[in-house]
């Protein structure tokens, strides 16, 4: 294996190893980040994003259903207008219970914590009505500030079938999405109000009340008013309700989805008793200014929802066993990590375009999976952690893979510089590259390096051509001449032989000199310093004046300025002008003129060198600056040369950030234009 092949193999192996290492660290980092966001996402502020997506999914998956097992009796504005200002006498609530004897359960979303001193016997009447009905649930409230539980009067509590806490859990964004079926005040655990209503309905024959032993409401007077409600030991709840934790409420629709009737219509007998037969009846405030009103996910479709209807939605979830569950932590981790791992595996092998669209499809898949899980399986997988992991994977891997590849490219370019393969071509931009490490700048450096490698290949081919043809031709002629001289019958006179050998030797030296100068123009570092073009052109014209005089030609140069500063290598620039003047002398007939001009065309100095020679054929103009290229359509015999003079001009001017062009007409002459960047202008 050659040294070059070994170097290529080492480079590929090193790059692959670096990419593999970057990929392993990238996967480990993105997986760790996704896991952290899954476990501690709420503490890190992701709950709001998850809640927004949950609300949208819930709204999209729920219709405007109208459950028939739960009926709400509203204390609305019309009832207050009919029955008078709130609060009403408790005898009024006792009268309401008389119309609800066929109801499966009656739950009062109202607090009765104190005795009404104006109507002391109303409490006895309400207690008796509760006991007579046998399936009444009363509300409790845990004060969030003090932690104390506000309970019903003991005489009312003893008659109730169940008691339940009506506290509502409000998320950070002000929406009610969850319910705690076993709330606690820090000392004891209670049932939520919806759980208590459900329990009372499921255990109709096991009502925790001594109502059946009371002969009349007056028996209540013998009970001590201060008896503690904590003796309510017979509260009954299904085993399923004993599962601790929070549950997402599966709202059946927007506000008003449950059957609702007005309080005063029930009390006045306008609503038939059959309406409540075997129903779960909830009594709660609805009137403006007196009820608890909450924003819920479905509020985006309509008005906010009253607290009693939030309780109705929780009760409906218990009745249908259709809660929305949050999965266990391990399931949430799998849901978030699997798409991230899939996209990470894909990023290693696919193109950036495929990776981008693959990431978009993975994001859509995560959102659809969350929606389908909620819609059909009642599980809400919070998608934000997985979405962030997938969205970060593409740019992070693009960054790391590009950095790894560019680091190796930079290293190879540095090696090329060090091996003098690019010397002189990158030195002018090295200072800029130190400060510009952007991707476009590094791509430009790579492009420049590739261009120089192409030039190196071309130079090798040109060198082989030069050695195999141009250099061999005069040497072969010399060998042929010496062989001829050995034959006495064909031998030429010695002076003629010496003249021929001298001419061929000078041809060889001219070829070698031209090739060496061209190679230096393309690869050797430039010795840049301020140069006055006026002086440079004067020197070039003066050095060619003897040759021009030998052909009775004149070189005309009268500058309009005394100085014209550029940054250049003076010796190379002198050779550029000398090559153009040599061509003008060689290709022009006797007695013609050569004109040199220098003008300012900012941001360039424009140098023109014109002759009155034979001109260049149009077919030759496109290749005139290529190495070893010489016009083939000149009407006269062309002088000998290597075809490297104009290639040298083009190489030097290009490296000086300038431009070179030609305008030629057969039989009229040629004009060469050289534009060099202005260093500064002396006024």
Q: Both tokens of residue 642?
A: 């290597």
Lowest average pLDDT, out of 158-162, 214-218, 589-593, 619-623, goes to: 214-218
Q: Is residue 363 scored above 70 in pLDDT? A: yes
Q: Is residue 256 scored above 70 in pLDDT? A: yes
Task: Report the mean per-residue pLDDT for the chain.
Answer: 80
Crossing angle between the packed helical segments 494-523 and 439-465, to the nearest 10 degrees: 170
pLDDT at 87: 86
Cβ(424)–Cβ(526) below 8 Å: yes
pLDDT at 513: 67
Q: Is residue 347 scored above 70 in pLDDT? A: yes
Q: State the pLDDT confidence band at 340, using cuts at 50, 70 and 90.
A: very high
Q: Is residue 471 scored above 70 in pLDDT? A: no
Q: Tell me the pLDDT tens digit for each residue of 577-636.
A: 988 998 899 888 998 999 999 999 888 999 999 999 888 888 888 778 877 666 654 444
Q: Is residue 435 scored above 60 in pLDDT? A: no
Q: Is residue 366 scored above 90 in pLDDT? A: yes
b/e per residue 347-372 (b: at least 16 CB within 10 A): beeeeeeebeebbeebbeebbebbbe
pLDDT at 218: 30
- Average pLDDT in the 202-225 region? 38
Q: Is residue 158 scored above 80 in pLDDT? A: yes
Most confident of 241-245, 355-359, 426-430, 520-524: 355-359
In sequence order, what are the residues at sequence separation of 6 or more whose Cβ sits closer than 8 angstroms to the Cβ of residue 361? none
pLDDT at 499: 80
3 state SS of 140: strand
C-alpha 601 chain-centroid distance? 47
3 state SS of 225: coil
Cβ(677)–Cβ(656) below 8 Å: yes
pLDDT at 424: 46
pLDDT at 120: 82
Q: Is residue 374 scored above 50 in pLDDT? A: yes
Q: Is residue 465 scored above 70 in pLDDT? A: no
Taking CA 127 as the corner, what is the angle to CA 124 and CA 128, rounded to the nearest 5 degrees?
85
What span, in angstroms and rounded, lies between the C-alpha atoms of 658 and 665?
24
Q: Is the pTM of this model over 0.75?
A: no
pLDDT at 244: 53
- Average pLDDT in the 176-203 region? 83
pLDDT at 651: 85
Q: State the pLDDT confidence band at 301, using cuts at 50, 70 and 90.
A: low
- Average pLDDT in the 226-240 region? 37
Who wins on pLDDT, 190 or 549? 549
Q: Is residue 239 scored above 80 in pLDDT? A: no
Q: Is residue 253 scored above 70 in pLDDT? A: yes
Write the DSSP assignment of 562-603 as a string of letters.
S--EEEE-HHHHHHHHHHHHHHHHHTS-TT-EEEEEEEEETT
pLDDT at 429: 47
Measured CA to CA in angstroms, residue 553 lies from 162, 220, 451, 463, 598 at distances of 125, 141, 42, 36, 20
Q: Is residue 229 scored above 60 in pLDDT? A: no
pLDDT at 598: 92
pLDDT at 60: 84
Q: Is residue 663 scored above 70 in pLDDT? A: yes
DSSP 470: I
Taking the domain 527-677, which CATH number applies? Answer: 3.30.565.10
pLDDT at 74: 92
Cβ(429)–Cβ(379) below 8 Å: no
Q: Is residue 97 scored above 60 in pLDDT? A: yes
Who wins on pLDDT, 379 or 667? 379
Give the chain's length.
683
pLDDT at 495: 81
pLDDT at 226: 33
pLDDT at 127: 93
Domain segments of the chain: what residues?
A: 3-46+327-402, 65-223+244-320, 420-470, 527-677
Q: Is residue 492 scored above 80 in pLDDT? A: no
Q: Both tokens of residue 573?
A: 């620039």
Lowest average pLDDT, out of 68-82, 570-584, 628-642, goes to: 628-642
Q: Is residue 389 scored above 60 in pLDDT? A: yes
Q: Is residue 474 scored above 90 in pLDDT? A: no
Most confident of 397-401, 494-498, 662-666: 662-666
pLDDT at 524: 65
Q: State the pLDDT confidence band at 5, using cuts at 50, 70 and 90.
A: low
Q: Tell me the pLDDT tens digit for each residue of 7-53.
A: 556 667 777 788 888 889 999 999 999 999 999 988 888 888 999 99
Number of neighbouring beta carbons within 10 Å of residue 578: 18
Who wins on pLDDT, 502 or 66? 502
Q: State the pLDDT confidence band at 4, using cuts at 50, 70 and 90.
A: low
């Amino acid at each position: 294996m050659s040294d070059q092949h070994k170097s290529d193999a080492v480079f590929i192996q090193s790059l692959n190893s670096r990419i593999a290492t970057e990929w392993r660290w990238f996967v480990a980092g993105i997986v760790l980040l996704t896991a952290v966001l899954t476990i501690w996402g709420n503490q890190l502020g992701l709950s709001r994003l998850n809640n927004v997506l949950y609300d949208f999914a819930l709204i999209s998956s729920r219709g405007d259903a109208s459950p028939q097992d739960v009926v709400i009796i509203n204390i609305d504005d019309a009832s207050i207008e009919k029955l008078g200002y709130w609060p009403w006498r408790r005898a009024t609530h006792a009268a309401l219970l008389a119309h609800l004897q066929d109801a499966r359960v009656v739950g009062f979303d109202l607090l009765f914590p104190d005795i009404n001193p104006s109507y002391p016997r109303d409490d006895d009447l309400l207690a008796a009505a509760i006991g007579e009905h046998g399936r009444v649930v009363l509300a409790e409230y845990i004060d969030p500030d003090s932690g104390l539980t506000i309970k019903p009067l003991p005489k009312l509590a003893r008659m109730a079938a169940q008691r339940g806490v009506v506290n509502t859990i409000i998320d950070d964004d002000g929406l009610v999405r969850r319910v705690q079926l076993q709330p606690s005040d820090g000392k004891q655990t209670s049932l939520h109000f919806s759980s208590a209503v459900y329990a009372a309905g499921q255990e109709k024959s096991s009502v925790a009340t001594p109502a059946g032993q009371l002969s009349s409401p007056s028996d209540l007077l013998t009970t001590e008013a201060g008896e503690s409600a904590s003796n309510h030991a017979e509260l009954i709840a299904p085993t399923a309700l004993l599962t601790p934790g929070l549950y997402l409420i599966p709202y059946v629709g927007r506000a008003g989805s449950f059957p609702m009737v007005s309080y005063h219509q029930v009390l006045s007998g306008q609503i038939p008793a059959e309406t409540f037969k075997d129903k779960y009846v909830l009594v709660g405030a609805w009137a403006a200014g007196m009820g608890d009103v909450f924003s819920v996910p479905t509020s985006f479709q309509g008005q906010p929802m009253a607290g009693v209807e939030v309780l109705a939605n929780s009760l409906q979830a218990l009745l249908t066993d259709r809660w929305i569950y949050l999965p266990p932590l391990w399931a949430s981790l799998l849901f978030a990590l699997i798409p991230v791992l899939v996209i990470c595996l894909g990023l290693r092998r696919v193109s950036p375009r495929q990776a981008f669209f693959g990431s978009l499809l993975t994001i859509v898949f995560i959102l659809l999976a969350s929606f389908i899980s909620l819609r059909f399986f009642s599980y809400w997988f919070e998608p934000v952690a997985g979405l962030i992991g997938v969205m970060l994977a593409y740019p992070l891997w693009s960054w790391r893979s590009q950095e790894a590849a560019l680091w190796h490219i930079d290293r190879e370019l540095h090696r090329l510089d060090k091996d003098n393969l690019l010397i002189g071509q990158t030195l002018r931009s090295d200072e800029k590259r130190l400060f510009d490490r952007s991707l476009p700048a590094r791509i430009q450096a790579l492009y420049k390096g590739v261009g120089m490698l192409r030039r190196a290949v071309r130079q090798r081919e040109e060198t082989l051509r030069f050695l195999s043809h141009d250099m061999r031709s005069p040497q072969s002629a010399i060998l042929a001449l010496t062989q001829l001289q050995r034959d006495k019958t064909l031998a030429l006179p010695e002076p003629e032989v010496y003249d021929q050998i001298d001419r061929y030797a000078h041809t060889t030296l001219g070829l070698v000199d031209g090739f060496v100068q061209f190679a230096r123009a393309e690869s050797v570092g430039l010795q840049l310093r301020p140069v006055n073009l006026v002086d440079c052109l004067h020197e070039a014209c003066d050095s060619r004046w003897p040759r021009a005089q030998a052909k009775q030609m004149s070189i005309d140069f009268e500058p309009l300025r005394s100085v014209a500063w550029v940054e250049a290598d003076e010796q190379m620039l002198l050779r550029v002008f000398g090559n153009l003047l040599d061509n003008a002398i060689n290709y022009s007939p006797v007695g013609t003129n050569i004109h040199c001009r220098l003008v300012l065309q900012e941001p360039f100095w424009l140098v023109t060198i014109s002759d009155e020679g034979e001109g260049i054929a149009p077919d030759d103009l496109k290749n005139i600056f290529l190495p070893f290229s010489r016009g083939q359509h000149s009407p006269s015999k062309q002088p000998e040369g290597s075809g490297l003079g104009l290639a040298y001009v083009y190489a030097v001017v290009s490296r000086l950030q300038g431009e070179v062009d030609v305008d030629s007409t057969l039989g009229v002459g040629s004009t060469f234009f050289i534009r060099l960047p202005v260093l500064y202008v002396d006024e």
